[in-house]
Structure 1
Amino acid sequence: MTSVLLIGVAGLAMLDALNPATIAGVALLLLAPGAHPVRMAAGFTVGAYLTVLGLGALVYLGADAASGAVDSGLTWVRRTAFTVAALTLAVAGLRRLRSRVRPAVTVPTWVNPFSAAGLGFLMTGADLPNAFPYFLAIERIVNADVGPTGALPILAGYALVYCLPCLLLLVAGALYGDRVRRRLDGLYARIGAEKEQPRSVPLAVCCLVGAAGVMAVAFTA
């Protein structure tokens, strides 16, 4: 295990930490009208952490077990991630070809301080195929040949850095609840409330061109 490996993985984790889905999940729970918004946000963060750590460990151990087929296996993992991202961009582009009303983002009725961990698992797991830094980090760890005893602590650190923005928001919500919620209310009004999205051909074209570019990268990576 080298400092170059640790610095590289830490840099990828910090890039991956700018994940809007996970951060938005914590913000939404802090705004929830229930009696325990901070506890729900904490449960969500725990679920996100365990998801990143658990899936990372599964991908790593699967690649490690493949021995000689590691490179090929990781290539297909990367290609799958890029393909999912391309399809997501394409769908977003096609949606902008017509006017639509974007529904408001709300907290499901089944969410409480315990089940919020499940919500964190679902939202984080659904977004991981688009997390290019995540798979690049796992590839570096496999290529470094540090073994499971070295790889798993690195993955645990990666997951912690990934959740760092959520933890900071969670601490701010616990210490300065009303002030933080007022700021989040303004943000929610702009990006989370029900909103009419007009047709936009230029934006649709940009998304479709971006999807084609990502798909091209998927099969040359």
Structure 2
Amino acid sequence: MSAELLLGVGGLALLDMLSPTALGVTVYLLLTEKERLGSRLIVYLITVAAFYFLAGIAVRLGMDVVMKVFSSILKNRILSWFMLITGVLLFTASFYYPKNTKSDVPRPKSKSAAAMIALGFTTSLIEVGTAFPYFAAIGLMSASNLAVCQWLPILAGYNFIMLLPPLILFILHLLFGRVMQQPLEKMRVKLMSYSGSAVSWMMSIFGLILIFYSLDYL
């Protein structure tokens, strides 16, 4: 296991921290929940982490087959050119994607633990399709031919890093209480106003990945 691999996966995990959904739900709960805040928030975050972790395991186990198919596709020059053009278009479009689009964060319909689990599952199911940094990190681990005992802890660490911002906010809320009210309000407004920024980043990264993997076969 090389330091370059760990740095690459760690960098992608840091990028995945930009995802606004889990952070937005956390801010909403911190602002609105007065009773059993900790247990409800932890249930939600554990659900999100478990979903991504299991999805990551499933993708990693099937990655060998996918990589073989992907490699054979890349050897076709026409398809490689198509991927290159698609990557360039995605990368270019990322600069023009509306970054000021307002969108409210998902909210639980009730305050029960089951509602938190349902919310975590729903938001994860919606976002996992656009989790390009996550899939890129799994691709790096697959290309490095790591054993299960090696890539499984890395995958768990990735999910932990990805959910660090909500955890840090929760700890700060516990430590400073009402002092955090105003910063959380400002953060909620920014998350609603600039939710398009995360999508823009994902588009640019996925575009670069397509460009990078198509160049060798042109």
TM-score (norm 1): 0.68
1:46 equivalent in structure 2: 46
- CA drift at 1:104: 5.5
Q: Distance in 2 between matches of 1:138 and 1:219?
A: 15
- CA drift at 1:124: 2.7
Cα 1:62–1:72 change in 2 (3 A) is farther
- CA drift at 1:157: 0.9
Q: Distance in 2 between matches of 1:2 and 1:61?
A: 21
Cα 1:58–1:108 change in 2 (3 A) is same
How do residues 205-220 of structure 1 correspond to structure 2 at under 5 angstroms?
A: none
Cα 1:30–1:70 change in 2 (3 A) is same
**Is the 8 Å Cα contact of residues 108 and 119 (structure 2) preserved in structure 1?**
no
Q: Distance in 2 between matches of 1:18 and 1:140?
A: 20
- 1:130-152, Cα deviation, whole Å (9 max, x unpaired): 22211111111000001322221
1:99 equivalent in structure 2: none
How do residues 129-168 of structure 1 correspond to structure 2 at under 5 angstroms?
A: 129-168=129-168
Q: Distance in 2 between matches of 1:23 and 1:179?
A: 19
2:216 equivalent in structure 1: none
- CA drift at 1:41: 1.8
The number of residues matched between the two structures is: 189
1:25 equivalent in structure 2: 25
2:78 equivalent in structure 1: none
Amino acid at match of 1:21: T
Q: Distance in 2 between matches of 1:12 and 1:214?
A: 10
**Superposed CA RMSD:** 3.8
Q: Distance in 2 between matches of 1:150 and 1:33?
A: 39
**Is the 8 Å Cα contact of residues 108 and 115 (structure 2) preserved in structure 1?**
no
How do residues 39-188 of structure 1 correspond to structure 2 at under 5 angstroms?
A: 39-64=39-64, 68-69=68-69, 71=71, 105=105, 107-188=107-188
Residue ranges of structure 2 left out of the alignment (5+ in a row) = 75-82, 194-198, 214-218
Q: Secondary structure at the match of 1:108?
A: coil
- CA drift at 1:48: 1.7
TM-score (norm 2): 0.68
Amino acid at match of 1:137: A
Q: Kindly, what percent of the aligned residue pairs are identical?
A: 26
Q: Secondary structure at the match of 2:62?
A: helix
Larger relative contact order (Cα-Cα within 8 Å, sequence gap ≥ 6): 2
**Is the 8 Å Cα contact of residues 64 and 70 (structure 1) preserved in structure 2?**
no
Q: Distance in 2 between matches of 1:52 and 1:192?
A: 23
- CA drift at 1:34: 4.9
Of 157-166 and 31-40, the range deviating more from structure 2: 31-40
2:16 equivalent in structure 1: 16
